[in-house]
Amino acid sequence: MATLGLSEADKQAVADFRRDVVDPSQTRLVLVDFWAEWCGPCKQLSPIIEKIAAEYADRGVVLAKINVDENRFIASQFRVQSIPTVYAMFRGQPVADLSQARTESQYRQMLDQLLAQLPIESEASQAAQDMAPLIAMGEDVLASGDAERAHSIFAQLADMAPDNPDVVGGLIRALAALGQLDEAEALLGSLPPEIAKDSHVERGRAAIALARSATPGVDTAPLEARIAANPEDYEALFDLSAARMANGDRDGAADALLAIIAGDRAWQDGKARSQLLQLFEVVGLEDPWVSAQRRRLSAILFA
């Protein structure tokens, strides 16, 4: 913003704008609210936008309020024709006109879209980067079968980031693996709706359901004898899959379920396929093991 030929007051306004808007916008998303004392709609919007800015502060959002009567030159540079006018700025440039937003939900929707697209530096993003390797360690430990140690890791992470869906989901699955299903369900029930719907938390929900259908330590020999005598004893195969999963044998659990699907994919309204998909969700849809089992399932379904 050039200052040649400007009055001292306008030069000071430009300097203030650079300090309050342009410089912070190099790494953060700055909401520029053009307003005036005499503007009724501005007074109605002010508490909404201030609340939203405070709510999104840890995600790198900053609020700058520009009084158009005191900063006419700045307002003219942005061609402000009416107020309230609200722009979102990043790296010194307007990236969105938020002037049509009037409710908290509208602002949240717009900001969520912007923050998903822009490389904003924030406390939340830095914390997520710092926590990522710790979450990965917890997942590796849980996948190795050491549910007690995984629970310890995720419980410590939950103390630091109780609203992190990856952490909460891992803690729920660790509790389920330990057989502490009531505790897992209590934690699940205490979550805010927006976190409870997250895919990582849904994995925890599936783990609870799967654990409820299984009894650890079951002697599988009688079930295996029934199946040897009658390979189409799908009830025995289903119970065998649950027992194997409870005993940590996910390969054997998948084998039993796939055997049912291969023999009668419609058995009990597709119960075996539903159980297998639930198993996939617990393990993680991006896990290589799940990809391999999906290929086996596809080969059966499309043979």
Whether the CB-CB separation of 206 and 282 falls below 8 Å is answered with: yes
What is the Cα–Cα distance from 188 to 208, expressed in whole angstroms?
Answer: 10
| 42 flagged as catalytic | yes
| Set 29, 30, 42, 184: catalytic member | 42
What is the Cα–Cα distance from 31 to 53, expressed in whole angstroms?
Answer: 8
Helix (H), strand (E) at residue 95: strand 93-97
Nearest 5°: the CA angle 291, 141, 216 is 80
What is the Cα–Cα distance from 178 to 37, expressed in whole angstroms?
Answer: 61
| Set 39, 101, 187, 297: catalytic member | 39
Tokens 């309050």 -> residue: 20
| 281 flagged as catalytic | no
Residue at 105: amino acid letter: S
What is the Cα–Cα distance from 69 to 78, expressed in whole angstroms?
Answer: 14
The catalytic site residues sit at: 39, 42
